[in-house]
Structure 1
Amino acid sequence: MLQTAVVAVRDRARLQEIVAVLLRFGLDDLVGELGLKRHTPADSGGTEAGIATATRPERVRRALEQLGPTFVKIGQLLATRADLLGPEWTQELEKLHSHVTPVPWSEIGPQIEADLGAPIAQVFMAFEETPLASASIAQVYRAVLADGTPGGRAVVVKAQRPGLSARIEADLRLLTHLAGLLEDQWPALARYQPRVVARQLATAVRDEMDFTKEAQSCEAIAAHFAGQDDIVLPRIAWECTSTRLLVQDYLDGVEGAAVATTPGLDGAVLARRGARAFLQMALRDGLFHADPHPGNLLALAGNRVGFIDFGLVGRLSERRRGQLVVLLRAIVEGSAQGVTMVLLAWSSGAAHDLGRLEATVENFVARHGSQPLSLAQALQDFMGIARETSILLPPDLALLFKSFVTAEGMLRQLDATFDVVEVAAPIVREQLGARYSLRRLRRQREAVLADLYDLADEAPQTLRLLMYRLRQGRIGADIEIHHIGWLAGALERSATRLAIAVVTAAAILGLAPHLMAMSPVWFGVPVFPALGIVAVCVGIVLLLLSFRRRRAPD
């Protein structure tokens, strides 16, 4: 409650604005379940037109657009998580757009000069004040950089919208708080780890707000394509680039839809080159463009492929790339066992219904093995399997799979007969060969031997410490016993019974001589000895029955 109060006081105005938007788009139930009704402003603005007939995903999407850049970016990232959300949600969130009314030059111009540390006319030979594009986070301008060459250097200038940082930080604080409310109040959502997902989304948004990170990603990917003239990435003008300003080469190209009508461009060649580049980024280099929509992939003269906008990139470790290669091979070969094992490896050790998982995977393999394989559709269905079987995919893979799907759709615009599996097969074989090469095996052997050497070096000291603590009686153990409550209850009942039995037996032994001396006789049989024999027989029967009592629950 204290945390709720602190958040409400710090960001009260923004919280009221968020609540008003949710109410305006018919999300009253969400406001109530999150306990935010007390933050409803006096005038929430009524309900938007057409909301009564809109689906819930559509209402959420429209609310996110109204809430601004932070929520638009979060919605776009959630659209990549088909392992969390059903297709009705991801398809709606994919419609999120971030094109907004441009900020007037009178507001953004002074900020650009402040970031440059000099007048614009001193840095650029020419600067078009009308933006090429205006998005929720930044605006893009064409310019000519005065770099000392005749005619200058054609560049684009990406400038962050003024006053954005403080608002986004407030939104991220509120997002983290709302994720905690979801996890606490809806236990069914706990397996989706809302707090973890919120932290990942916040990190992605903050990274995208820092243009120097985008520039670094661009240069790192460009280094991987050094010497490949058919793949072009813009050079960064670091002397003009800062957290809020990015200056890079202008790539003179066309989007995929215009290739067919542009002389000198071959869609089939461009599709194959673009696919090879993307697969190389993901499978070989481990650093890939995570937003390959048509506006970010350009067709350049000479059938070269240009990549721009590296605000969203994905990273895959060597181990993850190995798992991905194994998965792609399993899908292509129709190996249900291979797909199942990869899914289990990504399940973080959580318990799953193995029979159900195997049956679902076998249906998946049968469905895709009976027709020409579409890798995009296969990956979409694979994420559906993860969602149905409650397996939370690692975020890097969810982002990659979504990027695969987007890239294949864009490449088919260039060439309707394009077969991504044909392009992927040699790269997968190459990576499998590298994975099991003698050089890699030798490196793994050396790493294992080094670990064993370190273990052997530490073992004597560890054993001496263990023996010392054993002699001192100071060794501790942290043991988890399932159903410990049941066991404690059983032990308590057994102890109570034993105590009663001991006291009763002692009393009987003390009284026995006196009872025997004064025992009445019935039909010639002493009564108390006879009762004693009956009690002994009953005790034996009860003892035997006790061995048949139920065991602890499994």
Structure 2
Amino acid sequence: MLKTAFVAARDRQRLSEIAAVLIGYGVTKVVERLGLGHLARFAKRRRPQVDVARLSQPQRVRRAIEALGPTFIKLGQILASRPDLLTPEWTEELEKLHSQVRPIAWDKIRPQLEADLGAPPSEIFAEFDTVPLAAASIAQVYRARLMSGEEVVVKVLRPGLRKIIEADLRLLAHATRIVVQEWPEFGRYQPHEQMRHLASGLYGELDLINEARNCETIAAIFADRDDIVIPKIHWEFTSERVLVQEFIHGIPPNDHARLDAAGVDKVKVAQKGTDAFLNMALIEGVFHADPHPGNMLVMPGDRIGFIDFGIIGRLSERRRTQLLMLIGAMLKEDSDGLMAVLLDWTGSSNPDLTKLESSSQAFINRHAGSVLNFGDLLTDFMTMARENDLAMPTDLAILFKGLVTADGVMRHLDPKFDLFTAAGPTVKSKLASQFSIKGITRKVEAVGAGLFGAASELPTLIHLMLVRLKQGRVTVEIELKGIEKLTRGIERAAARIAVALIVAAFATQLAPRFMDLGTPAFVTVGAMVCVIGIGWLVLLGRNK
């Protein structure tokens, strides 16, 4: 193919390196299926430092990914968080991927840093430690002190990285097109969506201004809270390749010895951390995408600091509502509700509804009456999706990974931690806003989705019918004789259903509100809607 030849010519050296690494680690099937075997001879072979023959296939792939650098490491980390796409043997191995690498020598970093700062570091900073605090595949971090006396960290991109990553993304995008064309069965893995997510994340991390903006976005959420600390950005020194921000003193949440010595109330901190994360995700729809122990710090006064905002997740209002429905279905042990949410996320999948119904009930039975470990629960949920050929939307997969990570961190602080219980106040607050006058007005068109539970079975039936329609698996036979009468009947039936749902929604909310004298306006308006709606239903019933 001409396009293949063009790609190979433009990025021939990098493509040869990739082929050589894959072959070196015994990942030959991928090389052969993509037709890259002839390129490996052009690259300098690097002998793996392990006995490849003793490694399993997932272990070989993981080692090869680490050797290929940041683009492939990031891809592997994304796939490690997708038990809805990969089996446990693969996700568990890919979870071992790390981006910690040997630091680049200061002499190679200094010229780029001077060019970005516009002056030598000694003229900008009162102190600058040239030994990095941390070295990752994307950037290195240094500790410094401004002339004003403020302690800061200086994050610097590794030189020459953008060119390599851009070449990798071009090659992966081309490989994705080949895979989709040649092996349609890989479509369920959503390769184009995975590539879009990978490219978006990497380009975001290559621009440290983006990270600085993310940091300030999260800081604005907690502007009125002293117990959640987000580092201040020093914009006068920040650019695409350099980020200068406040240095936060704190203790990692998994350092129990230091936490105990500092007298930290670990149970209280776990509750605060959960509240902060859920407030970001469920209330604001913007959240820290990787809240692992290295990105969270416990500070004096039982405060929590968040750092490293290279990637943040975003959830639309619709996604947040779906998440609430999912949590509600799990808590109520409602397999039909669980199935309805799954079908809402199906996309272009073609699930076996009988199998899915059985899987949903089995999932509920496994977790019914037991102490809910949120991390295990979500992993099991995504495994159930994979077994039914359902792939989670990328934004929710990012959230689930964040929730599982946060749950693990909080369990470090409090072994008895229960995320469902800890989430109670935040979820109740969100539900209250959903069921307020404004929330009802905003959501009235989506009543049929079952948000108000007026007819518990109807939303599930509607979901099933819509999925069948999308899949073209519904056959309708109508005799044309009397078609006008049939049309009028359908219109009246649709009107009755719509009015009944709205009346039921208000009625469901009126019962508890009559006992609450603090909301007379809601009661009055709701009663009027119920009376008018019931009257309309009577008239519709007579008009046959």
Which band: TM-score by shorter chain? Answer: 0.7 to 0.9
Whether the aligned pair in 1 keeps the contact of 2:20 and 2:45 (CA below 8 Å) is yes
1:92 aligns with 2:93: yes
Residue number in structure 2 paired with 1:200: 197
In the alignment, structure 2 segments of 5+ residues that lack a partner are: 448-469, 474-544
Question: Which amino acid counterpart does residue 288 of structure 1 have in structure 2?
Answer: F
SS of the residue corresponding to residue 97 of structure 2 reads coil
Is it true that 1:419 corresponds to 2:413 in the alignment?
no
Picking from 148, 151, 155, the partner of 1:154 is: 151
Structure 1 residue 328 displacement after superposition? 0.8
Amino acid at match of 1:293: H
> For residue 41 of structure 1, what is the aligned residue in structure 2?
41
Q: Aligned equivalents of 2:204 and 2:193: distance in 1?
A: 17
- The residue number in structure 1 matching 2:389 is 390
Name whichever of 292-301 and 77-86 sits farther off. 77-86
Alpha-carbon offset, residue 370 of structure 1: 3.3
Aligned residue in 2 for 1:344: 343
Residue-by-residue CA offset, 1:136-187 (whole Å, 9 max, x unaligned):
110000011224xxxx111100000111111110011111111122222222
Task: Judge conservation of contact 1:259–1:267 (CA < 8 Å) in 2.
Answer: no
**Residues 26, 47 of structure 1: 8 Å contact kept:** no
2:106 maps to which residue?
105
Contact 1:259 1:299 (C-alpha < 8 Å) held by counterparts: no
Report the equivalent of 2:80.
79
**Is 1:279 matched with 2:278?**
yes
Gap change, CA 1:161 and 1:46, over 3 Å in 2: closer
- Counterpart in the other structure of 2:320: 321
Structure 2 counterpart SS, 1:190: helix
Q: Residue 114 of structure 1 aligns to a residue in which SS?
A: helix
Q: Which of 1 and 2 has greater Rg? A: 1
Match of 1:442 in 2: 441
Cα drift, residue 41 of structure 1: 1.6
- Single out whichever of 340-349 and 188-197 deviates more from structure 2: 188-197
Shift of 1:374: 1.2
For residues 306-353 of structure 1, what are the alpha-carbon distances to aligned partners after superposition, in whole Å with 9 as ceiling and x for unaligned?
100011210000110011011111111211111111000001154321
TM-score (norm 1): 0.78
**5 Å matches for 1:152-301?**
152-261=149-258, 262-301=261-300
Q: Which runs of 5+ in 1 are unaligned?
A: 449-479, 484-554
The alpha carbon displacement at 1:445 in A equals 5.8
Q: Is the 8 A contact 1:259 1:266 kept in 2?
A: no
Q: 1:25 to 1:373 in 2, by over 3 A?
A: same
3-state SS of paired residue (1:426): helix
Residue by residue, what CA displacement relative to the aligned partner does 1:275-298 show, whole Å, maximum 9, x if unpaired? 111111111111111111110011
Partner SS state of residue 220, structure 2? helix
| Matching of residue 19 in structure 1 with residue 19 in structure 2 | yes
In structure 2, how many angstroms separate the alpha carbons of the residues matched to 1:45 and 1:111?
29
CA deviation profile, 1:423-465 (whole Å, cap 9, x unmatched): 11222122122112111223456999xxxxxxxxxxxxxxxxx
Q: Which amino acid aligns with 2:74?
A: K
Q: TM-score, normalised by structure 2?
A: 0.79
- CA distance in 1 between partners of 2:125 and 2:119 (Å): 10
Provide Cα deviations, 1:493-533, integer angstroms capped at 9, x if missing partner: xxxxxxxxxxxxxxxxxxxxxxxxxxxxxxxxxxxxxxxxx
Q: Say if 2:188 and 2:390, in contact at 8 Å, map to a contact too.
A: no
Residue 305 of structure 1 aligns to a residue whose secondary structure is strand
For 2:28 and 2:226, locate their aligned partners in 1 and report how far apart those are by CA, in whole Å.
55
Identify if the C-alpha distance between structure 1 residues 407 and 446 changes in structure 2 by more than 3 Å, giving closer, same or farther: closer
Q: CA deviation at 1:392?
A: 1.5
Decide whether the 8 Å contact of 1:82 with 1:398 is kept in 2: no
1:244-269 CA-to-partner distances (Å, cap 9, x unmatched) read 11111000011112244332212111
CA–CA separation in structure 2 for the residues paired with 1:33 and 1:440: 53
- Partner residue in 1 for 2:369: 370
The aligned residue for residue 353 of structure 1 is 352
Distance 1:350 1:447, change over 3 A: closer
Q: Letter of the aligned partner of 2:394 in structure 1?
A: P
Query: Structure 1, residues 93-117: CA drift from partner, whole Å, max 9, x if none?
Result: 1111111111111111121111112
Deviation at 1:35, TM superposition (A): 1.1
Q: AA paired with 1:420? A: L
8 Å CA contact retained: 1:157, 1:245: yes
**SS at the partner of 1:248?**
strand
Partner SS, residue 337 of structure 1: helix
Number of residues paired by the alignment?
447
Q: Deviations over 1:333-378 (max 9, x none)?
A: 2111111110000011543211110100100011011311111111
1:309 equivalent in alignment to 2:308: yes
Instruction: Tell me the C-alpha RMSD between the 2 structures.
Output: 1.9
Residue type at the aligned position of 2:289? A
Distance 1:273 1:32, change over 3 A: same
Secondary structure at 2:415 match in 1: coil
Amino acid at match of 2:168: D
